[in-house]
Amino acid sequence: MKLVTFKLQFCVLFFSLMLVLSGCSTTSDSASPRQTVTLTDGWKFSKEVKGDAFAANFNDSSWEKVSVPHDWAIYGPFDKKWDMQKVAIVQNGEKEATEKTGRTGALPHIGTGWYRKTFTLPKFTEGKKALLVFEGAMSEPQVYLNGKKVGQWAYGYAYFYIDISKDLVAGENTLAVQLTNREYSSRWYPGAGLYRKVNIVVKNQESFEQWATYITTPTIASNAATVNIKTTASGSGIYLVTKILDATGREVASHKSDAVDQGFEQNLVVPEPKLWSPETPYLYTAVTQLYAGDVLKDEETIKFGIREIKYEPQKGFSLNGKITKFKGVCLHHDLGPLGAAVNKAALRRQLTILKDLGCNAIRSSHNMPSMEQLELADEMGFMFLAESFDEWAKPKVENGYHRFFEDYAEKDIVNLVRATRNHPCIVMWSSGNEVPDQYGAEGLTRAKFLQDVFHREDPTRPVTVGMDQVKQTMESGFGALLDVPGLNYRVHLYEDAYKAFPQGFILGSETASTVSSRGIYKFPVVQAKEKQYNDLQTSSYDLEACSWSNVPDEDFVLQDDKPWVIGEFVWTGFDYLGEPTPYDEKWPSRSSYFGMVDLAGIPKDRFYLYRSRWNTKDETLHILPHWNWEGREGQTTPVFVYTNYDSAELFVNGKSMGIQKKSKATPQNRYRLMWMDVKYEPGTLKVVAFDKNGKPVAEEEIHTAGKPHHLVLDPDRKTLTADGEDISFVTVSVVDEKGNPCPTATNQLNFKVSGAGTYRAACNGDATSLEIFHKPTMKLFSGKLVVLVQSGIESGDIQLEVTGNGLEKGMLNLTAKQ
């Protein structure tokens, strides 16, 4: 058996220092020798470019004014023409090419766009270093400074940096970035533009190399932990002073190195360490200072966590000595109505919802995660499987990553690992997802090459690949090579794979892919695959999957009964733009149905099925379907209950439908309580749950609603930061006169924001809706939608007004504070 033991901790590597520049935000401390400027406002953008837009004196006065992060395509309109792909999706078992109309989200992301920004850097003088750092640019960026090309990259998800020390001038500088999104380059909505941060780092010649500092914790005991810090720096006769601060800012360890050239290694001892975990996400801070003589030359402030991870045969994965199963979800990078443009408030809301679910892990699918997502995962307590590529050298799509693999794969992995390895949340790397290279000797060579690069850059974490060709990888040795064998679906092959692979454990790297539309229920209620309906929706009874996937309960059985199955990453936590399976050949359908939570961030029924297993602290008692079925009177309308209790009794208008108990008769009976013969009659559904002794301990009711009467506005937060970026997500529901939700309402609503904020977008979670997110009007879907209210840069009150024909309007007051 192959014993894989990886120990470590980590966190965020981003510099600090702050100044106020026009159109920039800077992090800074007046005493610090380093300045990091984030280029946010003051950008100009255009897709209609005539002339040499890279030239410093180019006239961009007619271009659109935007702030970065920015996604040019999310503003629409939706149209199937934008990237209509005629292709056979091999991963889905397709043999013949067919027209895929919404595969990449039906948004106008194809084409070339230009960004330009003029800026000054008062702290930059001759002899200083300056790096231009991109955290993601979609895609194939060509970068110009003051009319000169200074660099380029290929992969739209990669972090990269360019040394612009010799090209900056002391006064005004003009930065221009050309981005090109080709058709047939993605399998989902990739977004477009400078969708993640752009920073400029100004520092001394004697300074830390970019992303060079590497923090590990090689030994951990209850009384002390060793913190190992390795870094490289430019300069001679320099020395390193490091202080470790606890979460309160108290110094708990320090070390001063001898003067050396370039390379440093320090070992500091932290007494009585507090360990990082999803339950206790404790973070320390390392302040590393570079000195020449008595002069401070450079400084980095790095958050990290102390924690130990192990992967062992038969035992599986352990965190800090405790066997832990991954209760994970896969997430694409788009944020629904915000598109690919990264926003920390939106990410925090996602993770807050996942915390309530009981989720403890995230897989970035199928791309490198944003820095903000990793920072929040550290802070809020999520383990992370950081993924790199969806393609290697063999293509899935005509213009995919295979075009760049030979020249960029190693560089992209190096940047991924070095930029993020200090995050304690990351417990595993993935070098690929369902790559066609699973076949043949060349694929085996590539898998080893990539895994070796990860090991070289970070020997503390294992590497996986999401494998869908499991029989092939059992025969070829591909799966045996990996540190962690990841199976995408193929539940029927888990036993065979466990016997064939030497690692002694299996990871469900991608599971379920059950489909559902929030609040939509189809009859008769039967388990089905590839089921399609005329309204292009799927049933929220959670019994429908794709030809290659399965319903959740089949994975639950493996997770619960097989100790060598170390966890799962469900496809997906949230719906995402693109891949509208099973309707990728139908129109209109432009986003996925896979999520436990819809595109608006509203939980579906399936959310509560997972919550009943994963959230072991809070009660789950959820009834489906809704109880508004005019025209179905007397017809069979099954009722399901998702709960962490083992039994419950159902009542319809006070009449008992009997007690149901979970059993092992079928996977569904094991995890759901189901009353299959209930006849619909308007009124009240009530469920009473029992503990293991048969004592009633909880109850829940839903009611048949009357006519829609008024609107209820429920914000995720009422107080925002007045930074021009913070967002409150307001769930808008329509209810009857008694306050009962109206689950079939589709009223058209209008939104108005006044005061110290602005209307940003709305989303209703309907995969077939072609309404533009950023117009202040949208239809309800299954009685709900979400409105995004964004703060300005001034403190003050914000008012949201929501109106709809025949409804009492809804009003909400929010506050923005500095």
Among residues 669, 618, 621, the alpha carbon closest in space to that of 648 is found at 621
φ and ψ at residue 71, rounded to 5 degrees? -120, 110
Yes or no: say if 190 and 183 are a contact pair by the CB < 8 Å rule: no
Yes or no: say if 390 and 402 are a contact pair by the CB < 8 Å rule: no
Number of CB atoms found within 10 A of residue 407's CB: 10
3-state secondary structure 718-739: CEEECCCCCEEEEEEEEECCCC
Number of helices (H) and strands (E) in the chain: give both, helices first. Answer: 10, 50
The full DSSP string for 560-613 is HH-TTEEEEEEE-SB--BS--TT-TTSSS--B-S--SB-TTS-B-HHHHHHHHH
Q: Residue with structure tokens 């007397």?
A: 634
Catalytic residue among 308, 510, 554, 579: 510
434 included as an active-site residue: yes
Question: For residue 236, what are the CA distances in angstroms to 205, 241, 266, 290, 537?
Answer: 11, 15, 18, 11, 66
SS3 557: helix
> Measured at the alpha carbon of residue 430, what is the angle toward residues 363 and 68, in degrees to the nearest 5?
60
3-state secondary structure 767-788: CCCCCCCCCCEEECECCEEEEE
Cis ω for the linkage preceding 459 (within 30 of 0): no
Yes or no: say if 717 and 728 are a contact pair by the CB < 8 Å rule: yes
Per DSSP (E only), the strands in 275-367 are 284-292, 295-304, 309-312, 316-319, 322-323, 326-331, 361-364
φ and ψ at residue 376, rounded to 5 degrees? -70, -35
Q: Residue with structure tokens 């520049």?
A: 21
φ and ψ at residue 405, rounded to 5 degrees? -55, -50
3-state secondary structure 600-650: CCCECHHHHHHHHHHCCCCCCEEEECCCCCCCCCCCECCEEEEECCCEEEE
CA distance 162 to 129: 11
Yes or no: say if 145 and 177 are a contact pair by the CB < 8 Å rule: no
CA distance 103 to 186: 9
Among residues 707, 781, 706, 780, the alpha carbon closest in space to that of 520 is found at 781
530 included as an active-site residue: no
Catalytic residue among 135, 206, 434, 457: 434
Tokens of 291: 């000195």
CA distance 582 to 552: 17
> Which residues are within 8 A (CB) of 421 and not within 5 positions of it... i.e. 6 or more apart?
10, 214, 457, 458, 461
Yes or no: say if 686 and 678 are a contact pair by the CB < 8 Å rule: no
**Beta pairing class for 148-152 and 142-145:** antiparallel
CA distance 162 to 123: 19
Tokens of 403: 């075009």
The full DSSP string for 374-429 is HHHHHHHT-EEEEE--S-SSS-SSTTSGGGTHHHHHHHHHHHHHHHHTT-TTEEEE
> Which residues are within 8 A (CB) of 182 and not within 5 positions of it... i.e. 6 or more apart?
110, 140, 399
Among residues 54, 76, 104, the alpha carbon closest in space to that of 399 is found at 104
Give me the active site residues, please. 434, 510
